[in-house]
Structure 1
C-alpha cells in the first residue's frame, strides 16, 4: 500500500521560497528531480511541457535580460492574464500579499518597497537555477493544463528531495524577452518559471505560510438519485 502520510507531509510542508542561498543543487539531484516530474499525467499522454533549465551565470544572464526588458517598458504574456480578481479570489490574493509584506517589514502604503519586492521575481529571489516551462501552442488550453500539472509535480518532487522552489507567473509577463533570450521557437508558449535552490531559512520572506480554503468552499457533493 502507498504511504499516504508521506504525500500529506510533502503537501503540508511545501511552500513558495522567496529567498535562496547561492550554492547550486548538485547535478544528480537535479536529474532525479526532473526525472520524477516527467511522470506527470497529461491529456492523451501528450506531455506538452518543455523545460529550459539555467544554472549559475546563465540564471544571472536571464535575470538581466528580463530586468532590461522591463526597464524598456516591454511586456506581454503568451497566455491571457486573469481579467480581474473578485470575491474570495481577491481576498486570498490580498491576504497572501499582506502576509509577505508583513514578514519582510513593508508597510501597505509603501508602494515603492512593494514594487521592489515584486521585482525580486526577476532576479529569481537569488535562486541558482531556473526552469522555464513552456507548452505547445497548438495544444491550446489543454497544453497549458498539462504544463500546470507538470509544475505541481515538479514542486512536490523538489520538496521530496529537499530542494526549495517557487513557481513564478511573473516571468510569463515578459514572454517576448524570455523567447528572445532562450531562442524559443514560435510554437512554444511561455507558461511560467520555477526557481530552484536551497532556502535561506533565516530570511523573513520564508517565515510565513499561506492557508487553504476549507472543503466546504470548493467541493460540492452531488446527491444520488
Structure 2
C-alpha cells in the first residue's frame, strides 16, 4: 500500500489552492477527496464500471484534434507508451494501461473536482485554475500529482459513488501521493511549444 499524505500536508495543499482567483470570486469548485479504504473502494467500483460502460461526461469533450494539436497529442501518447515498453501495435497492453486511470495509477488519494452547472464554461475555467494551483502547491510540498480527465468520462458513476448533487458537474480528478522514482513512467516528460508559437505580441 503506498504511503498516504498526512492530513496536515493535505490541508496545506488545498489551503493554497483555495486562494485561486475566480470570476467575481465565486470559487465554483467543490472537491470530493478520498483517503484510506475509500480510495480502494472507489478505484474498484470505477474500474468495473469503465470496463462495461461507454463514457458519459458532463462537459463536452473536444470535437476533433487537428494540425499541431493532433501532433502534440499523438507525440505525448507515443512517448508515454514507449517509456513503459508498450509497442504501438500491442492493443491489449495499451487497453490495460488505459484502465490504470481508474485505479489512479496506485495513488493513495484522488480529488474529484466539480463545478456549479449554472456557471457554465467560466466555472469550468475557474476550476482549471484551481487544479493548476493545486498541482503547484502539491509539488512545492513534495507530493506528486496526476490530473485526470478520464475520471470525468464516467461522471454518472462518480456522481452516484459520492452522492454528488445533480447541479454539480464533474470536471476532472487529481490523483496524488508520493512518486515511485524508480518507475520508468516518472522519467517521462512531455514537450512544450516555444513561446513564440503560442504568444502573439501586438506592438503597433
The within-5 A match list for 1:95-110 is 95-110=75-90
- Equivalent position SS for 2:43: helix
What corresponds to 1:46 in structure 2? 26
Q: Does 1:87 align with 2:67?
A: yes
The whole-number CA distance in structure 1 between the counterparts of 2:40 and 2:191 is 32
- Equivalent position SS for 1:81: coil
- Equivalent position SS for 1:52: strand
| TM-score relative to the length of structure 1 | 0.89
| TM-score relative to the length of structure 2 | 0.98
Q: Does the aligned pair in 2 maintain the 1:69–1:75 contact within 8 Å?
A: no
The alpha-carbon deviation at position 71 of structure 1 amounts to: 2.6
The whole-number CA distance in structure 2 between the counterparts of 1:71 and 1:114 is 14
What corresponds to 1:152 in structure 2? 132
| Residue from 113, 122, 143 that aligns with 1:163 | 143
What corresponds to 2:3 in structure 1? 23
| Residue from 175, 182, 191 that aligns with 1:202 | 182
The alpha-carbon deviation at position 34 of structure 1 amounts to: 0.4
What corresponds to 1:190 in structure 2? 170
- Equivalent position SS for 2:115: strand
Q: For structure 1, which runs of at least 5 residues remain unmatched after alignment? A: 1-20
What corresponds to 2:13 in structure 1? 33
Q: 1:123-152 CA deviation, whole Å, 9 max, x = no partner?
A: 000000000000000000000001000000
- Equivalent position SS for 1:132: strand
What corresponds to 1:176 in structure 2? 156
The alpha-carbon deviation at position 72 of structure 1 amounts to: 2.6
Q: For structure 2, which runs of at least 5 residues remain unmatched after alignment? A: none
- Equivalent position SS for 1:149: helix
The alpha-carbon deviation at position 215 of structure 1 amounts to: 1.2
- Equivalent position SS for 1:172: helix
Give the alignment's Cα RMSD to 1 decimal: 0.9
The whole-number CA distance in structure 1 between the counterparts of 2:170 and 2:159 is 8
What corresponds to 2:111 in structure 1? 131
The alpha-carbon deviation at position 158 of structure 1 amounts to: 0.5
Number of residue pairs the alignment of both structures matches: 204
What corresponds to 2:121 in structure 1? 141
The whole-number CA distance in structure 2 between the counterparts of 1:72 and 1:26 is 35
